[in-house]
Amino acid sequence: MNTYLQISPEVHEAIATGKPVVALESTIISHGMPWPQNAATAKAVEAVVRAHGAVPATIAIRDGFCKVGLTENEIDDFAQAKGVWKVSLRDMPYVIAKKMDGATTVATTMRIAAMAGISVFATGGIGGVHRGAETTMDISADLTEMSQTNVAIVAAGVKSILDIGLTLEYLETLGVPVVTYGQSEFPSFYSSKSGFQSPMREDSVEGLAQMLKAKWALGLNGSVLIANPVPQEYEMPMEVVEEHILAALAAAEKQGIRGKEVTPFILKCIADHTQGESLEANIALIKNNAKVAAQIAVAFTQK
């Protein structure tokens, strides 16, 4: 076992005995929502995973270790801590060596999940190609990590603040399958619509699990992006979200917000300007992704 890996007893037992496990990220706790919704949401998401037959493994970096499976007290600590590092792959050795607190992004959570032997991961939305990337070269490390790490991601599509079309093109270039669960249009985080056709569609969790088995049995390394649309009762009109995104992007440009600070800044702007409606949608879609991920993990572990 890797020297820097620390797996909770419950998660360790589940992995060792072949029980279904779902990895969960910690960026949503420290950077995605305000206190106390962040802690409450993290615990509720874990409860959803358990309710659908799998063991949750929230992943974070603490005291020089990649921790796989947080206690409720650790979730509360992360939710209230100031200055928690948002850890992408490039940051991992620095944060671990310095024994700093680190919240894991999609890319980092995937890598640590793979180290621990976890095959299914639920998140809100993945990173991707940012708008204007043709001049900024701002492309999330999530995408390159997805091309090489054998962990499936269940997400509500690509974050709508990104360039969805370019992200889908780049995933095709990297050979990452993109399959939408239950509909033919690719979702865009807050909305089930994006204006882009999904490359693939699957209507059952059993079919998704079989797809994962086939991919990895063929020796095709890398992730599968399973796009799971936000529940209909919580989705926001795509046009309304776009208006708020454009305003938030303009504000970020004016204030000189750059790099990994852009996404949390824009999500907060949208939440502030939608009277919390976007935060409610965010919580609902994460819970929905956790449910589907748990169902896939259960199907994946069955012979």
Active site residues: 25, 159
Pair 48, 40: CB distance under 8 Å: no
List C-alpha distances in Å: 149 to 1, 120, 226, 257, 287: 18, 11, 15, 30, 24
Show Cβ contacts of residue 103 under 8 Å, excluding neighbours closer than 6 positions.
Answer: 25, 26, 27, 29, 30, 31, 60, 61, 78, 84, 85, 86, 87
| Residue 299 buriedness (CB in 10 A; 0-12 / 13-18 / 19+) | buried
